[in-house]
Structure 1
Amino acid sequence: MIQKYIEHFKSGSLDAHKDASRFWVKDVGPVVESYIGFIENYRDPAGARAEFEGFVSCVNKETSKKFSTLVSRAEELLQRLPWGADYEKDKFLKPDFTALDIIYFGGSGIPAGINIPNYDDIRQNEGFKNVSLGNVISAVPKQKIEFLSADDEAMYKKYFKESFEVQVGLHELLGHGSGKLFQNEGEKLNFDKNKVKHLITGEPIKTWYEKGETWSSKFGQLGNAYEECRAEAVGYFLCCYPDILQIFGYEGQVADDIKYTNWLNEIRAGLVCLEFYQADAKKWGQAHSFARYVLLRIALAAGQGFVSIEECVDENGKADLKFNLDRNKIDSVGKPAVGDFLKQLQVYKSTGDFAGGSKLFNEWGAVGPRELRWREIVVARRKPRRNFVQSNTVLTNGKVELKTYPATNAGVIQSVVERYGEDAVNDALNVWEKDVKIFGL
């Protein structure tokens, strides 16, 4: 794996990085886990250029036992998804699924969970890994949660970590890890054209991925938001099953509260994510935000008082919103609505039908006058973005000590300064100076 990494970074060969990822997938159950490369393309408006990131972490063995059970039951649980066996992979490639505590993460943002590698051909045919970043999930600032009633805010703060751990597990393993792509493999199709029907029209399948085509090449810059929406919806849908919550160690009233907190957190996030809608350009700038907003629209459209958002004023006379989700209607209203939408998302993904998929997704992702008013209130009441400040380990009198820093910009800078020695700084300066000479930066 490391040899292939070296080859990739020296030559720029994408095939070398894919080979490194293949070796990485085969390294099952390590105590120390890491991955590196140009991985996510969320920040590129064209959805093509990937940003460099890398992490080093230790496996949380206790939490990983839950994920191991989830993996062992994955084939059974996938049958509950609303698209049937024809639209599911012929064989589920059981991944390594671990809970990690991050020691160091290099990148512009730290996710709560990851499903990698991002190469669809490797994920579908060779395998993948899921990781949940536990100490990222728990690093939540203690501040007011906007737009919730006092009771809902208390529930949110009590069970956020537990509910998000469930969501991340279902999202990464059974969300990103599910669903079949109908492909022309050169000599034959990987599905029975005479048997498999389109789940929306009921007609024979007319589109698929030709040789050389991938999910990313077909769906382009919409692909990230679309896929994140599909994976998020799988999490909402499957957390409604008591036996799945039991895998994570939750039963009875606690399990019901965690299910409610998950739906409350995720659907409310679709409202808060309006902050990332670019009103002037009429476009979304962040894949996860776009995805969650679409699912908010689905929940609102389900009707029957399941989700409501009321415009109001607070005690200081400032514009406010009241978000409400009826917990008694999650199973009867919310789950069927999300399930039906999930089926549609999967059909267009499986068949490589960008025209149909983009029409569906963009219609639900439209932001009208009402939502623009909500956006103004969301932006006016938003909190400062939190700083993730990474600790350092130092050797003092033969003992390893953890050194932490304040969650401020100065703390971030000090953490970085003390992490790297003078040689590392000089190496970075030399690279920069060469770039200046070559490119005239």
Structure 2
Amino acid sequence: MTLAPFNFSDERFADLQMLRYRLNGFEKLTLNQKRLVYFLVKATLYGRDITFDQFGKHNLRIRKTLEVIYSDLRIPRDNDDFRALQVYLKRVWFSNGIYHHYGCEKFKPGFSADYLKTCMNIVDAQRLPLREGQSVNDFFEEIAPVIFDEKVLTKRVNKVDGEDLVATSACNFYQDVTQEEAEKYYASLKQSDNPEPPSYGLNTTLVKEDGVIKEEVWSANGKYANAIRHIVYWLTKAAEVAENEDQKETIELLIKYYQTGDLKVFDEYSIKWLQTTGTKIDFINGFIEVYGDPLGLKGSWEGLVEYIDEEATSRTRTISNNAQWFEDHSPVDPRFKKKVVKGVSANVICAAMLGGDEYPSTAIGINLPNADWIRANYGSKSITISNITEAYSKAAHGNGFREEFVKDPQTLELIDKYDDVCDNLHTDLHECLGHGSGQLLPGTDPDALKAYGNTIEEARADLFGLYYMADEKLVELGLLPNNEAYKAHYFTYMLNGLLTQLVRIQPGQQIEEAHMRNRALIARWCLAHAKHMRLTREKGFYELVIDDYDELRRLIAQLLAEIQRIKSEGDFDAARQLVEDYAVQIDQDMHQEVLERYKKLNLAPYKGFINPWLLPVLDENGEITDIQVNYSESYDHQMMRYSTEYGTLI
């Protein structure tokens, strides 16, 4: 029997296209490894409601209300209002709330407030998430401004310089406190003589009650307790089938952290997770990345279950085995280099399940832990997710994007030959070495760059990768085929930072997201300082021309040295000036042209993923004898199932 080819692309709505990823080699895992994956998957899916609540305090009740309407067959379906509500709900599912997952602006519903009110009065009121004693109409009056009024809770994360970033951000990490109060509170906790500071504020909501500022801890006995207890249950089962004793101890430390909320235990867990080797299965589970907090302190909940892609990992191991050489030859001031690079490990992995802030939209590479002192003393662990990059590549094949924005035939040929391998390699360099490179000077506060810290850190890692992409060492190590290949990536990176990433931004908006700011900063700074790179309109449209790639590499080295200095010295003013000068504002005429050129391609600027459905096969005693992988679940079914099976906070 001939199997049908795997279909990577799925449905499309709004500015989104859903993709599927394949669990390559999953069938080769042992039964015990499959059981471990399954238990970790369950622990991942039970964190979903936490992310929704973190991204906005009304998100869960709005989601539940829309799901009740969507699933009630008494609601007429063959009309524009219902179809608009369906699209709105799909966007809410995708973004873990009512704000765009990338731009952070609030969605504009295509249905009216009156339509929502009518639907809410048709469905069974007992199914709606009403507060005790609350009527349907009172509940409607509570959520209607949040959904429909553009002036109410406008952005999930606001980063506009000069505004109170806490008061103007709708994310649910702060309650009744200002930016000044939050910064003052956390500054008071820090001890300048502590060489191993915890990540203050990572797992708490900062609140003010009766004039007193305090933290609500996210733990099995605190906020989000019901979700966390379910996570702990499945982590406990995972510990019972761990691949070795170190992995078991790692999981047990994570359980202890969830139970206590103690950040010192989180650091112990992070170090143990780093030091655990000899396993095929790994995972990320917890309050990790801080991009969702305008102050860069609070960790959004995320989960990822993974297993090693052995064949592809040879590439990242080559990089990590030469980590000291890359550090020694970096073009930064010797004061900021690590004398001894410790504990750098890197794997190419297959994702088995995405969750929380990694679902449906996910990173293609991750480097952890984030604490600078752990990186300095113990190293870091990096992953590149091969089955996710595979899905992106398959979906992009032949879509006309390159041909629209790259008009020079020789450059296009170079990109067609080398950009995929270069793109993967740059991700590896960024994650494996870039984030782990360099060091803070003694006494530098790791949070000194405040709201600009995430952008500067991403720029630092990208610049590190870009600088070495053009180094003959990569050809010597067999990572690139020749000394010309890197030019493909230099061109597409600069093109993206200057032009093509603008397709993800609405007209009139500025650049907000840290990764987009990073790319804009690098490309625009290089353009401003280059003599042989330019944007032209000689043919009636914007076109990038690079005549001297050696010059471009010298500029990348210069900017890397300055970005590392800013990071190492904690130079807030310099970080602020770089970001505000190069990474925020958009030329509106250029933006309009890019949007028009992109529109004619009929592509979705954002991609996300439908998870595979892992189904246990049980014997007569209820013991798991295998795990089946099902790729047929629709996006709507998956989201409704997740809300039913893993809804713990509403």
- In the superposition, the TM-score normalised over structure 2's length comes to 0.54
- Does 2:334 align with 1:78? no
Could you say if the C-alpha distance between residues 399 and 118 of structure 1 is closer, same or farther in structure 2, counting changes exceeding 3 Å?
A: closer
Do the aligned partners of 2:351 and 2:388 also contact (CA within 8 Å) in 1? yes
Q: Which residue does 2:391 correspond to in 1?
A: 139
Q: Aligned partners of 1:412, 1:154: CA distance in 2, in Å? A: 37
Q: Aligned partners of 2:631, 2:416: CA distance in 1, in Å? A: 24
One-letter amino acid matched to 2:501 = C
Q: Which residue does 1:412 correspond to in 2?
A: 635
Do the aligned partners of 2:320 and 2:344 also contact (CA within 8 Å) in 1? yes
Deviations 1:359-406 (A, max 9, x none): 2332232536xx22222223342531223222234468987654324x
Q: In structure 1, which of residues 64, 85, 99 is the aligned counterpart of residue 348 of structure 2?
A: 99
Q: Aligned partners of 1:246, 1:390: CA distance in 2, in Å? A: 39
Could you say if the C-alpha distance between residues 411 and 159 of structure 1 is closer, same or farther in structure 2, counting changes exceeding 3 Å?
A: farther
Could you say if the C-alpha distance between residues 425 and 17 of structure 1 is closer, same or farther in structure 2, counting changes exceeding 3 Å?
A: farther
Q: 1:238 Cα deviation (Å)?
A: 0.5
Q: Which residue does 1:238 correspond to in 2?
A: 468
Q: Which residue does 2:280 correspond to in 1?
A: 31
What are structure 2's unaligned runs of at least 5 residues? 1-249, 619-624
Q: What SS does the corresponding residue of 1:218 show, helix, strand or coil?
A: coil
Deviations 1:412-435 (A, max 9, x none): 2334567x6xxx935x44x334xx
One-letter amino acid matched to 1:69 = T
Could you say if the C-alpha distance between residues 91 and 44 of structure 1 is closer, same or farther in structure 2, counting changes exceeding 3 Å?
A: same
1:36-435 to 2 correspondences below 5 Å: 36-106=285-355, 107-108=358-359, 109-140=361-392, 141-142=395-396, 143-145=399-401, 146-149=404-407, 151=409, 152-153=411-412, 155-184=414-443, 209=444, 213-214=445-446, 217-252=447-482, 256-257=484-485, 259-270=486-497, 271-275=499-503, 283-310=510-537, 320-326=541-547, 329-331=548-550, 333-367=551-585, 371-380=587-596, 381=598, 383-384=603-604, 385-394=606-615, 401-405=628-632, 411-415=634-638, 425-426=644-645, 428-429=646-647, 431-433=648-650
Q: Aligned partners of 2:566, 2:579: CA distance in 1, in Å? A: 10
Could you say if the C-alpha distance between residues 225 and 115 of structure 1 is closer, same or farther in structure 2, counting changes exceeding 3 Å?
A: same
Do the aligned partners of 2:338 and 2:438 also contact (CA within 8 Å) in 1? yes
Of 395-404 and 172-181, deviating more is 395-404
One-letter amino acid matched to 1:132 = T
Do the aligned partners of 1:137 and 1:161 also contact (CA within 8 Å) in 2? no
Deviations 1:246-292 (A, max 9, x none): 4354323xx523x12211221112122335568757x5321110000
Q: 1:337 Cα deviation (Å)?
A: 0.8
Of 102-111 and 162-171, deviating more is 102-111
Q: Aligned partners of 2:290, 2:479: CA distance in 1, in Å? A: 35
Q: Which residue does 1:437 correspond to in 2?
A: none
Of 17-26 and 45-54, deviating more is 45-54
Do the aligned partners of 1:29 and 1:96 also contact (CA within 8 Å) in 2? no
One-letter amino acid matched to 1:66 = R
One-letter amino acid matched to 2:260 = S
Q: 1:153 Cα deviation (Å)?
A: 4.5
Q: Aligned partners of 1:400, 1:240: CA distance in 2, in Å? A: 44
Q: Aligned partners of 2:507, 2:257: CA distance in 1, in Å? A: 40
Q: 1:157 Cα deviation (Å)?
A: 4.4
Q: What SS does the corresponding residue of 1:425 show, helix, strand or coil?
A: helix
Structure ranking higher on relative contact order (CA contacts 8 Å, 6+ apart): 2
Larger Rg: 2
What are structure 1's unaligned runs of at least 5 residues? 185-208, 314-319, 434-441
Q: Aligned partners of 2:426, 2:576: CA distance in 1, in Å? A: 25
Q: Which residue does 2:221 correspond to in 1?
A: none
Do the aligned partners of 1:132 and 1:169 also contact (CA within 8 Å) in 2? yes
Q: What SS does the corresponding residue of 2:462 show, helix, strand or coil?
A: helix
Q: Aligned partners of 1:104, 1:325: CA distance in 2, in Å? A: 41
Do the aligned partners of 1:39 and 1:50 also contact (CA within 8 Å) in 2? yes
Do the aligned partners of 1:32 and 1:58 also contact (CA within 8 Å) in 2? yes
Do the aligned partners of 1:276 and 1:284 also contact (CA within 8 Å) in 2? no
Could you say if the C-alpha distance between residues 13 and 279 of structure 1 is closer, same or farther in structure 2, counting changes exceeding 3 Å?
A: farther
Deviations 1:196-242 (A, max 9, x none): xxxxxxxxxxxxx1xxx32xx21111111111111111111111112
Do the aligned partners of 1:35 and 1:54 also contact (CA within 8 Å) in 2? yes
Could you say if the C-alpha distance between residues 84 and 305 of structure 1 is closer, same or farther in structure 2, counting changes exceeding 3 Å?
A: closer
Q: Aligned partners of 2:474, 2:332: CA distance in 1, in Å? A: 19
Could you say if the C-alpha distance between residues 278 and 41 of structure 1 is closer, same or farther in structure 2, counting changes exceeding 3 Å?
A: farther
Matched-pair identity in %: 22
One-letter amino acid matched to 1:372 = Q
Of 36-45 and 146-155, deviating more is 146-155
Q: Aligned partners of 1:395, 1:225: CA distance in 2, in Å? A: 42
Q: 1:324 Cα deviation (Å)?
A: 3.2
Of 87-96 and 288-297, deviating more is 87-96
Do the aligned partners of 1:61 and 1:99 also contact (CA within 8 Å) in 2? yes
Q: 1:325 Cα deviation (Å)?
A: 3.2
Q: Aligned partners of 2:269, 2:478: CA distance in 1, in Å? A: 32
